[in-house]
Structure 1
Amino acid sequence: MARKATRCFAAFSGDLAPALLALDAEVEIAGAGAVRRAPLAQLYADDGIHYLALAPQELLVAVHVPARPGWRAAYEKVRLRATIDFALAGVAVAVRCQDGRIDDLRIACTGTNSFPLRLGGLENLRGKPLDESSLALVDKRFEEQLNIMETTVASSLYRRRVTMNLIRRLLVRLAG
């Protein structure tokens, strides 16, 4: 929970959501005699109490993950204990490279904000090699978009550093 806040904020710490966000998943929602399909990112709200954007009587009935030939993806998290703890920081990366250059890239984070967040603004990396300047652009997007919450378990500075290290490690492993 966020200290001194006027409403409920809690760091979202689920493992599956960032992986599905990085893979461009869509959700199927049934309710009131109708079924609708939407990008997974639209399911989550920035509200610690009502964190799912579902109407009364709606139910998530399916998750659709598109086939992505040529993509590589991975998820890693850091937690206090290796067994039952929620993620202090978690990162999913999905990347497609061609001829040593980034063709497309998606990064999603958990344990940082009150909802799982997919980084935007990574289109500028298309056609570029994974080098220090590419990583610097990812760092910049990360700093611009993530509002890392202070929790009782770990400082926001610690979570920020861990998250950025996870992003870099996964990018190098998958695209390097």
Structure 2
Amino acid sequence: MTSITETAFATLEEQKRLLSPVHKGPTEKAGRFGFRGKLALKFAQQFADEARPPELCSDQVIAVAEAGKPTFDFFAQWVLSFEHLGNVAEVLKGLLSPEGKYFIFANNIDLLSKYQVEIDGINFYVLPIDESTVYNELLELFYIEKNDLKKATTAGKIDAVANAGIAFDQTFEKITFEKGLEVMGPVRNRNENRPV
């Protein structure tokens, strides 16, 4: 049974960045550990022993790491603004490899745009998200039929998405992080148009 301490997740676990897990444990693939939940990107200043929620998180994280490997093979997440990609790259520095597949769904990039952004030698696929979830967007991107995974466990679903993500080889328009900051739209209020 793969333990979190044997994987790239160990650092994030130590830093208490893995929050609200729907799944945090071995997957059905031998030697693989998976996580579905939130990633704390920036912590609020703490006074004495009070516990404060993080100032900034990326949501809907789906990630896997193999035992004995220092880096993640697959990491997908949702961020409110494209600029938070900078925070993601900082938090995951040293835990990503040029061979890994990393997907960022940003709430404020044009719905018709898909980019590849390289930061410190690491390639990130940056995609828009349209009122959907990272999981559903990935199924669509990887051409996975939802019905095929209906009976799968959460761990099985993570494996299916990660396997397809690792095999993903499409290319999108390459832009710099700075160019992305120029073209990104305003940050949308995530609560607008929601029933109260």
Same fold (TM over 0.5): no
Name whichever structure is richer in strand by fraction. Answer: 2
TM-score (norm 2): 0.22
